[in-house]
Structure 1
Amino acid sequence: MAREVTHEERGPTVLDESDMGDDDLIYVCRCGLSDTQPLCDGSHNATADEEDGVVYKYANDDADGERREIDEIVYENE
C-alpha cells in the first residue's frame, strides 16, 4: 500500500525533550495523516486494512476523511 499526502512545509521541525511521551520516546508520523505532524497521533490506525500494491488518497489528508484508491500520483511539474 501507499498513500499520497500533500506537504506544504518547506523546512525541518526540531524535536526536543518536550516532544517525548510518558515512555521517554518520540513517535514520528510515517503515514502522513497525523494532525500533530511531525509527531504521531495514532492516525495510522485508519490504514490497517489498506492493501499492498494500492495507492490511497484520504480527503484533506485526514484519517477520518473519505479514502479512495488512485491510479497514479501525478506531479505538477511533470
Structure 2
Amino acid sequence: MTRLVELEATGPRKLDPSDIDGEKGDVAICQCGLSESFPFCDGSHRRTEDEEPETTYVYEDGERNAVDRVVTVDDE
C-alpha cells in the first residue's frame, strides 16, 4: 500500500531533551505521515493496519479513501 502525504515544513525538526517521552524514555518518529504531532508518532498509524497492499490511499479530514490513480503536473 501507499499513502499520499502532503508536508508543509521547509526545514528539519531538531530534537531536544524536551522531546523525550518521560514515561517511556524514548522518541518515536512518525513514518506513516498521519500523525497530528508530526514528526512525532501519536499512534495514528493504527488506522493503516487494514490497508490493502496494492491500493493507494489518501487520508483527508480523518477519513481514508482509496485512490484510483495519481496525476502529477510539472510547474515548468
Which runs of 5 or more residues in structure 2 are unaligned? none
- The equivalences for 1:43-58 within 5 A come to 43-58=44-59
Aligned-pair identity in percent equals 43
TM-score, with normalisation over the residues of structure 2?
0.85
- Aligned residue for 2:33, secondary structure, equals coil
State the TM-score, normalized to the length of structure 1. 0.83
Once the two structures are superposed, the pairs formed by residues 17-28 of structure 1 within 5 Å of their partners are: 17-21=17-21, 22-28=23-29
Residue 15 (structure 1) aligns with: 15
SS in structure 2 of the partner of residue 49 of structure 1: coil
Cα RMSD between the aligned structures? 1.5
Once the 2 structures are TM-superposed, how far is the Cα of residue 75 of structure 1 from its aligned partner? 2.7
Q: What stretches of structure 1 move > 3 A for 4+ residues in a row?
A: none
Which residue of structure 2 lines up, in the alignment, with residue 72 of structure 1? 69
- Note the C-alpha offset of 1:16: 1.6
Bigger-Rg structure (1/2): 2
Deviations 1:13-49 (A, max 9, x none): 0012211112221100011000001000111111110
- Any stretches of 5+ residues in structure 1 without a counterpart? none
